[in-house]
Amino acid sequence: MASAFPSWSLVLVVTAIVGLRLDSAAAAPMYRSGAREAVQGCGRSTQAELVECVAASVQQFVNFMSSGKLTPKHWITPFDPLHLPNMTIYQRKEMRAKAVYVNRYLVGLKNSFIQDVRVDLDRLQFNATALLPALEILGMFASAVGQESDLATENSILTFSLRNTVIDFVARGSLYTPEGSSSPHLWLQLDINYMAIASYVLSEHLGTDHGTSATAAITPAKFMKLMEKDLRVQLIRRLQYIANEALALAPFDQLFPV
């Protein structure tokens, strides 16, 4: 996919840190120690160039930084696979019944296509639509009636395969000056304007003979509704956290030199 991008485009964050040029990033990364002078973010010369540069940078970041390794010295939280928190599917105290979906991972974010980027640098607004062709949510479904300890033995591996998800992200920025720094950094507050999943498949593998079927406990449609709601919340929270981890590594005016 890298060849689809113009060679002049830059990896926003990595560029800011180590002064890597995109065209050398794929083949032979060069690390420079005092790279501040080599930093080339997204210039503000024209709005069209700015938008194109931001779009290409975000696209590169998504495609190539998913392991969380930005440079040998700079790590952020990995986002593909993205660890998701445990989820309670239902809990009925009167029946002492409970179902959980735990040890969950979201796979496929790195294959996102970033489209329709909108930037208003004065107001620090960055909006973009992402097309996610194939996402999988993998995890363990466990349910029990009665004792809490039953949960460990009765389980199944549950996978949601989402096809052609479209998400319209909205990011509102603010500037802050971290301790020990004299220059302002960008902090983003993320939200999702719109999210649509074209289709999904739920598949389940029972772990033991005594496995409980998730689909016996809750209909796939109902389950999917819960998952969609949860996915939205987790994407906002987790991606906001990770974006800000990356943005914290370079001051604003290195990302967007005047």
Ligand X SMILES: *[C@@H]1O[C@H](CO)[C@@H](O)[C@H](O)[C@H]1NC(C)=O
Residues near ligand X (CB under 6 A) are: 86, 102-103, 118-120, 125, 127, 170, 193
Q: Which is nearer to ligand X, 7 or 47 (CB)?
A: 47
Question: CA quadruple 57, 59, 62, 63: dihedral positive or negative?
Answer: negative
Closest CA to 14 of 6, 3, 23: 23
Q: Which is nearer to ligand X, 35 or 87 (CB)?
A: 87
Q: Which is nearer to ligand X, 125 or 215 (CB)?
A: 125
CA of residue 17 relative to chain centroid, distance: 20
Q: Are 191 and 169 in contact (CB under 8 A)?
A: yes
Angle at CA of residue 204, ends 238 and 95, nearest 5°:
85
CA of residue 245 relative to chain centroid, distance: 12
Q: Which is nearer to ligand X, 87 or 131 (CB)?
A: 87
Q: Are 107 and 66 in contact (CB under 8 A)?
A: no
CB of 120 to ligand X, least distance (A): 4
Rg of the chain, C-alpha, whole Å: 21
CB of 100 to ligand X, least distance (A): 7
Three-class SS state of 20: coil
Q: Which is nearer to ligand X, 174 or 219 (CB)?
A: 174
DSSP H/E element including 236:
helix 220-247
CB of 35 to ligand X, least distance (A): 30
CB of 152 to ligand X, least distance (A): 7
> What tokens appear for 19 in the block?
């002064």
CB of 161 to ligand X, least distance (A): 22
CB of 140 to ligand X, least distance (A): 7
Residue with tokens 């794929």: 26
Question: CA quadruple 186, 168, 66, 49: dihedral positive or negative?
Answer: negative
Q: Which is nearer to ligand X, 103 or 215 (CB)?
A: 103
Q: Which is nearer to ligand X, 23 or 150 (CB)?
A: 150
CB of 150 to ligand X, least distance (A): 12
Closest CA to 198 of 132, 119, 246, 120: 132
> What tokens appear for 61 in the block?
């970041």
